[in-house]
Amino acid sequence: MNKSIRRPLVAALCGALGLMVLAPSAGAQQQSGTTSMREQRAKRMAELGKNKDAEQKTEEAAALYPNATRVQPEAKANPKIVKQLQEMQELFEKQENDKVIAKAEAIVAMPSAGAYEKSFAYSLAGNAAADKDDQAAAAGYFAKSVEANGLDNNSHFSTMYNLAVIQFGDEKYAESLATMDRFLAETKSTKLEHAAFRAGILANMGRHDEAASAYKKLVADNPGDKRLLMNAVAALQNADKFAEGNVLLEDAYKRGMLTEPRELRALYVGYMNASRWDDAQKVMDDGTAKGILQAGPELAKDYMVLAQNAYVDDKIPQAIALYGKAAPMAADGEAYLNLAKVLEYAGKKADAKAAAQKALDKGVKKSEEAKAILAR
């Protein structure tokens, strides 16, 4: 076969897949390690003496932090302030958040307000501010509630956790990590959600080695948790530890856990970054055949990466086949233009001209290159 001069191809890039770490919502009913707003309401009502059934249930409630080092204070309201606390609670129930905050400020300014009343008021003000999406104010109130140190352990540490969540959501990652480290040190919590949240903070701080180490341990202990797996892989990839990420993904792939496009892409991008091109193609072809990966511009770009590598390695038939897959689903005609160049290099002039015409039809940046192929 007479090969013509190699023509430079349009480069296609494929980077590591970054996955977002999701934080829980402050005040929402979520993991087993924190109390929901409904549960907190029942407890507050019991503490204020308004609900005898709630009081009984509160007394029977299991400690959420049984290993906590903090000595739990006696959480009872000063009789002189009970009415004001009840009024603040009722305002919160009505979602009159501005009035809740104003009432809380008035309560903490009272000379008779002790540690419990201040913690209670600041905590409720924090939740009201969070409802208003005023994250800075919410963080400030939650911090004051914790420092007043007047609530029972369940409420105290749930408020501390909410503070870490608010700080995270406000992208104050260093502060969130400090709060979370204090939370873990004082609660001695071994709950998955708490350790995972701390790992997520590290990842968002760019401390990828530490995040990856934390996530890997969690994955080892919880092999069926896909979110942990994908976050571990993201941290490993961001730490340039693609081989370690691939090990985790390969195992998950063999167990049938990778069922979403981004999960398969994490695996084949990992293979690409490890120069395991054939393995990457197998995953892509398998995902396409199963309908997990859908034809489109993004998948086209990834097939172009494979095609370009095959061309550089002088695997011309493979490069032709891969550009042939990429070109029809690409957003423009660049894949067709590259296909035309490879076909011309392989001596297949008629096919090259057909591809060059399709490149012009779809649009390319350098139309003169396609026209030159047609003219030769």
Cβ contact 49:84 at 8 Å: no
Is the pLDDT higher at 367 or at 23?
A: 367
What is the rounded average pLDDT of the residues 147-174?
95
- At 76, the pLDDT band (50, 70, 90 cuts) reads confident
Residues ≥6 apart with Cβ < 8 Å to 319: 307, 308, 310, 311, 342
Torsion of CA 364, 368, 372, 373, to 10 degrees: 0
**pTM score, whole prediction:** 0.76
Q: Calculate mean pLDDT across residues 246-251.
A: 95
User: In the predicted model, is pLDDT for residue 1 greater than 90?
Assistant: no
Give residue 225's Cα distance to chain centre: 14
Q: Mean pLDDT for the chain?
A: 87
Listing DSSP states for 94-111 in one string gives TT-HHHHHHHHHHHHTST
pLDDT > 90 fraction of the chain, expressed in percent and rounded: 79
Per-residue confidence (pLDDT) for residue 2, from 0 to 100: 45
Asked whether residue 351 carries a pLDDT value surpassing 90, the answer given is yes
User: Which residues of 182-322 form beta strands (DSSP E)?
Assistant: none
What are the residues whose beta carbons fall under 8 Å from the beta carbon of 153, sequence distance 6 or more? Answer: 63, 64, 65, 68, 70, 72
54-83 in b/e form (b: 16+ CB < 10 A) is bbeebeeeeebbeebeeeebebebeeebbe
Rounded CA-CA distance 277/162 in Å is 45
Question: For 263-308, what is each residue's pLDDT tens digit?
Answer: 999 999 989 988 999 999 999 999 999 999 999 999 999 999 999 9
What integer is the mean pLDDT of 158-187? 96
Residue-wise pLDDT tens digits, 56-74 = 444 446 889 999 999 999 8
Which pLDDT band holds residue 77 (cuts at 50, 70, 90)?
confident
**pLDDT recorded at residue 20:** 42
Q: Domain 33-190, what architecture?
A: Alpha Horseshoe (1.25)
Residue 296 has a pLDDT of: 97
Q: Are 375 and 367 in contact (CB under 8 A)?
A: no
* % of residues, the chain, pLDDT over 70: 84
CA distances from 20 to 200, 201, 204, 233 (A): 9, 11, 9, 11
What are the structural domain ranges in the chain? 33-190
DSSP 8-state code for residue 64? S
Distance CA 327, CA 113 (A): 72
- For residue 194, the model assigns a pLDDT of 96
Q: What is the dihedral of CA 25, 29, 31, 33, to 10 degrees?
A: 100
Q: Does the pLDDT value for residue 164 go beyond 90? A: yes
- Asked whether the beta carbons of 151 and 159 are under 8 A apart, the reply is yes
Higher-scoring residue by pLDDT: 161, 38: 161
Q: Is the pLDDT of residue 166 over 70?
A: yes
* 4, pLDDT greater than 60: no
Residue 25 has pLDDT above 60, yes or no: no
Residue 322 has pLDDT above 60, yes or no: yes
Which pLDDT score, from 0 to 100, does residue 74 have?
A: 82
